[in-house]
Amino acid sequence: MPMEDEVSAHAPDVDDPAGRPRLLVWQDELNASPGYHAIALMDYIRRIGYVFQGNVAQYNALVAQVQDPTHVLAAFDISNPRAHDELLSEVERLLHNVLMALSTRIDQQRVFLKEHFSTDTALTAEYSARIKSDFDGYAPAAFLRGLRNYLTHHRLPVAQSRQTFSKQSFSVTFVLLRQPLLEWSRWNSDTRGWLAAQDDELEIVPMVDSYARIAGGFDKWLHERINLKYAAAIREYEEAADAFNREWDQAFGL
């Protein structure tokens, strides 16, 4: 990626020819510096991940909420089936958001790498290797990506709740029925084979949770890898920014 000229840690001595105050000239130089650009790249990776992780957090919050019998028992009242249908509708809405964000994260990261790091063969090779080791090693990852296509282009997956309770405990989870999923013709052969080998009810909650943990670790690695690549430029920017802030505070009596 092309890098701009280095920026000094000291303010310009004079205003620019257009008469702009030197602090604004200095601020523009800082914002055009390689270090500032590198920090912006890392922030973008964080934001891509946040969209996905935020949707997963909402999904998990509902799962946590229904573990409270006082909150959820009304949804299992057989005299009021609509309450249970509404619960499943909310589960499906949140799962939809998770899967859309999952796909968005993948697509946007690919575009990001191509746009900013296509000439960095070392980083792109590490990126590809990490995808293979982190995601290809988790079998449900391909299923979740395919489930997004199933949901988008075919139908909502058939979701059900499953309750486990005794005198001492109560728990609720959500499952997808395998057979309706297998009726879709557009699974690739590997995913179809994996799906056919699963139980009749797929426990979707731990799949989403595990994928989110893997994605979070991957995004943290990418963030840190970009930081390593531009460590010197970021350090120079931070030193210059500290000097700018001191002069800004002095100028305005802060």
Phi, psi of 164 (to 5 degrees): -130, 125
Taking 50 as the threshold, does the pLDDT of residue 234 lie above it? yes
Is it the case that residue 200 has pLDDT exceeding 60?
Answer: yes
Q: What is the pLDDT of residues 111-158, one digit of tens each?
A: 999 999 999 999 999 999 999 999 998 999 999 999 999 999 999 998
Q: pLDDT tens, 63-98?
A: 999 998 888 888 888 888 999 999 999 999 999 999
- Domain boundaries along the sequence of the chain: 24-151+204-249
Its pTM stands at 0.88
For 1-14, how does the pLDDT look when each residue is reduced to its tens digit (9 = 90+)?
444 444 445 555 55
